[in-house]
Structure 1
Amino acid sequence: MNTVRMILCGNVEDSRMNPSEKVGVVSVVFVSTEEEKIKNKLKELQDKNPENFYMEYVTPLDVDLTSLEHYPSIEISKNDLQ
């Protein structure tokens, strides 16, 4: 089965619509089929931006991710936004 690896980044930013409010943002920041590239990039990003939360996720190709028991996501609580 072919898989793709991705790095997700979760962080808190000022809202573009209302700068006095904070919003949680989750982004896919890097994608590769090669595990070593992902590991190196993950370390680089964590070292460069320690205030952000990064996670690696591996998923099969050509699959409806919502059909899986778990798919790429990062939980952001209200406390994270304060």
Structure 2
Amino acid sequence: MGKGLTFKEFAMLKIILHAFVEANKETAVVEVAFASQDKDMISAKMTELEKQFPQDYLAVYDLPLDTDLTQLPHYPSVAIGKEEFE
């Protein structure tokens, strides 16, 4: 670890988000497809998913553990219209 950094600053969970529009073209889905603290496993799974879903949106997010994600400048989120709750 670097000087002045604590273990907590390195404790990160990596997730792969997979977003796509369903075949009916009416529903978009955003799902957590994979999660790990192992960067090699994330890399291998990302390569696999990119081949499996070449037209879909895939992204890796680093999430610090034991952290209120809403306090970060950017974190995984999904916008849902109010009609989804009616």
Q: TM-score range by the shorter chain?
A: 0.7 to 0.9
Deviation at 1:74, TM superposition (A): 6.2
Indicate yes or no: 2:7 matched with 1:3: no
Deviation at 1:5, TM superposition (A): 0.3
Work out the CA distance in 2 between the residues paired with 1:30 and 1:72. Answer: 13
Pick from 54, 59, 79 the counterpart of residue 58 of structure 2.
54
User: Which structure is richer in relative contact order (CA contacts within 8 A, separation 6 or more)?
Assistant: 1
Is the radius of gyration larger for structure 1 or structure 2? 2
User: Could you say which structure has the higher strand fraction?
Assistant: 1
Q: Which runs of 4+ in 1 moved over 2 A?
A: none
Structure 2 unmatched ranges of 5 or more: 1-8, 80-86
TM-score calculated relative to the size of structure 1: 0.76
Work out the CA distance in 2 between the residues paired with 1:37 and 1:70. Answer: 23
Work out the CA distance in 1 between the residues paired with 2:27 and 2:72. Answer: 27
Sequence identity, in percent? Answer: 37
TM-score calculated relative to the size of structure 2: 0.72
